[in-house]
């Protein structure tokens, strides 16, 4: 993702969002952490995360709890070095209860294209397994799978 650097165009911002989605769908905390600056600052819900080591620890906890995690991100707006996205992801807990989590993120990038700040607001909606909309195999969302707007989310 770091090859896409500010200032962003619509095309590069959209590509940056898709690469972020792909990274998070890998569910590999070490891989994901590398697209953030070493001193990156996050607010995720009510949790504050600082630096790559805390990012790895946070994501490790997250994906141990949020099983069969599948995410779709969509660009909302962008400026030279900032991108706003909306997203939804589906997951279940260890008791088999399914959720769709909706949210918004604001990202700020350094000159090398690494994310230095991430602010996320997220709400969890309990759903029945029959209400799931994300059915691709774990990993990267296939290019022909609908996005959030196409799914009516």
Render pLDDT for 95-128 as a digit per residue (tens, 0 to 9).
Answer: 999 999 999 999 999 999 999 999 999 999 999 9
Determine the length of the chain: 153
Contact 69, 91 (CB under 8 A): yes
Q: Is residue 95 part of a domain?
A: yes
Q: What is the pLDDT of the chain when averaged over all its residues?
A: 97
Q: Is residue 53 part of a domain?
A: yes
Enclosing domain of residue 66: 10-131
Q: Is residue 5 part of a domain?
A: no
Q: Is residue 148 part of a domain?
A: no
Q: Is residue 139 part of a domain?
A: no
Q: Is residue 116 part of a domain?
A: yes
Write the Ramachandran bin of 129: left for phi over 0, alpha for psi from -120 to 50, otherwise beta: alpha
Only one residue has tokens 């996205």, namely 85
Q: Is residue 77 part of a domain?
A: yes
Q: Are strands 36-44 and 47-50 parallel, antiparallel or unpaired?
A: antiparallel
Q: Give me 84's structure tokens.
A: 């706003």
CATH of the domain at 83: 3.10.450.50
pLDDT at 3: 65
Number of domains in the chain: 1
Q: Are strands 67-78 and 36-44 parallel, antiparallel or unpaired?
A: unpaired
Q: Is residue 151 part of a domain?
A: no
* 62-73 pLDDT per residue, tens: 999 999 999 999
pTM: 0.95
């Amino acid at each position: 993702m770091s090859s896409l650097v500010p200032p962003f165009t619509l095309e590069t911002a959209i590509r940056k969002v898709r690469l972020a989605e792909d990274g998070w769908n890998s569910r590999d905390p070490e891989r994901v952490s590398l697209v953030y600056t070493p001193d990156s600052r996050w607010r995720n819900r009510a949790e504050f995360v600082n630096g790559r080591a805390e990012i790895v620890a946070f994501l490790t906890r997250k994906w141990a709890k949020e099983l069969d995690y599948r995410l779709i991100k969509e660009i909302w707006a962008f400026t030279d070095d900032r991108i706003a996205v909306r997203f939804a992801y589906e997951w279940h807990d260890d008791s088999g209860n399914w959720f769709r989590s909706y949210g918004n993120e604001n990202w700020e990038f350094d000159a090398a294209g690494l994310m230095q700040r991430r602010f996320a607001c997220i709400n969890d909606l309990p759903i029945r397994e029959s209400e799931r909309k994300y059915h691709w195999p774990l990993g990267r969302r296939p290019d022909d799978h609908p996005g959030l707007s196409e799914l009516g989310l």
